[in-house]
Amino acid sequence: MIALEAAGSGSLRLPGANASAGAGVAGAPLRVLLVHNRYQQAGGEDAVVADEMRMLQKNGVHVELYERHNGQVATISPARLAAGTVWSTRTTADLEGIIGRFRPDLIHAHNTFPLISPSLYYGAASHHIPVVQTLHNFRLFCAQAMFMRDGAVCEDCLGKLPWRGVLRRCYRGSTAQSAVLVAMLGAHRSLGTYRRRVTRYIALNRFCRDKFIEAGLPAERVVVKPNFVDLPAPDAAGPRGGALFVGRLSPEKGIGVLADAARLLPDADVEVIGDGPEESRLHGLPGVRLAGRQAPAQIYERMRGAACLVLPSIWYENFPRVLVEAFACGLPVIASRLGAMAELIEDGVSGLLFTPADARDFADKLAWAQAHPEQMRRMGEAAREVYLRNYTSRANFAQLSAIYRDALTHNSPSKA
């Protein structure tokens, strides 16, 4: 049986031989290969990868990052890109070189679409190296990745091959690109890739875990670990006021709901940080201030001075990083009672929940928050306590260590 030991410094070490071809000697620090396909527009998922890498290194884990960037897509012909999405020979070749040089004990993948591809899992299996895969969205089950269509939740493909996504052009409004994605999913479902080649999946909350299992992943392979941030305590006595939105101004984030709610509030006070295609819907609204994109330090400063964060999303949200950042800053959250948000926010304790896509209910919650500043401050204090219990790097490292231990223990050639 393989286990991980925590050295006195908090580092993870291998007490015995690993099942992988790249196994370290007894007592050697764990060696983890992180794998990530970066997005053209950097977002929360890219930040999570960077944060987890720093966390592992801080705790004595030897880490290497294998990364590709979607900016490369423009340099690849459509035919080669389609073939590589299903099976990337470059990934298998790159992986052989990395394994030979770095000798990882475990591979932790984040995004593999479209350039890295599921060929990663087979390269790892050929060396008996366990794979942990974090699921940041619903891409394995939905061509659109968010279970959303025409501005509403759509689960038509849940538990099925998402062929409807081709007819509806769910991926980027393109029949051809949707077909490539669905072909990749179909091929690897037929091969049993997702059921057999990934040792452990990480869901970011219980709601998403249930959806992944309902969609067909083996329940025993899906565990829960949230995201984390490390932020100092806010000034408990500092003044707070106004609502704050932070994120991409896109349809799934509920920008239309925010705009409609603002129109219903004669004394609305909402600052919006971010940009995106829905920005024009907020132009000229009384009480709504558009601040554009801001650096993280500026965002955190504003979070420490706002009365609440708003999350009017109309999709499930796997794990909005901004929610944890708000909790860390002692900021309660007013959010849609939908998906993970209804799990992460305790209504009336760490924030307020409203009926999804209901601008009237949203406006009523905002009005109540403005009229009850002391209650909102107490909710912010409770949110900070939730953060300290669940969403610090220390708590996260303990959870991730347990997942790695489990993956190493249960990895074998017969199960790979």
Quote the pLDDT of residue 9: 41
Quote the pLDDT of residue 36: 98
Class of domain 5-228+392-410: alpha beta
The whole model's pTM is what?
0.92
Query: Which comes out higher in pLDDT, residue 167 or 39?
Result: 167
Distance CA 408, CA 394 (A): 21
Q: Would you say residue 336 has pLDDT above 80?
A: yes
Question: Could you give the angle at the alpha carbon of 392 between the alpha carbons of 388 and 396, nearest 5°?
Answer: 125
13 — pLDDT class (breaks 50, 70, 90): low
Give the residue among 245, 213, 221, 261 at the shortest CA–CA distance from 368: 261
Which CATH number does 243-390 carry?
3.40.50.2000
Q: Give the helix ranges, DSSP H, for 59-199.
A: 78-86, 89-102, 119-126, 164-167, 175-191, 193-196
Distance CA 328, CA 114 (A): 33
Quote the pLDDT of residue 74: 86
The domain ranges of the chain are 5-228+392-410, 243-390
Quote the pLDDT of residue 236: 81
Per the CB < 8 A criterion, the answer to whether 253 and 357 are in contact is no
pLDDT in tens, 275-330: 999 999 999 999 999 999 999 999 999 999 999 999 999 999 999 999 999 999 99
Phi, psi for residue 82 in degrees, rounded to 5: -60, -45
pLDDT in tens, 61-73: 999 999 999 989 9
Gyration radius from the chain CA atoms: 22
Same fold, 5-228+392-410 and 243-390: yes
Chain centroid offset of residue 340 CA: 11
Report how many helices (DSSP H) and strands (DSSP E) the chain contains, helices first.
15, 17
pLDDT in tens, 85-140: 999 999 999 999 999 999 999 999 999 999 999 999 999 999 999 999 999 999 99
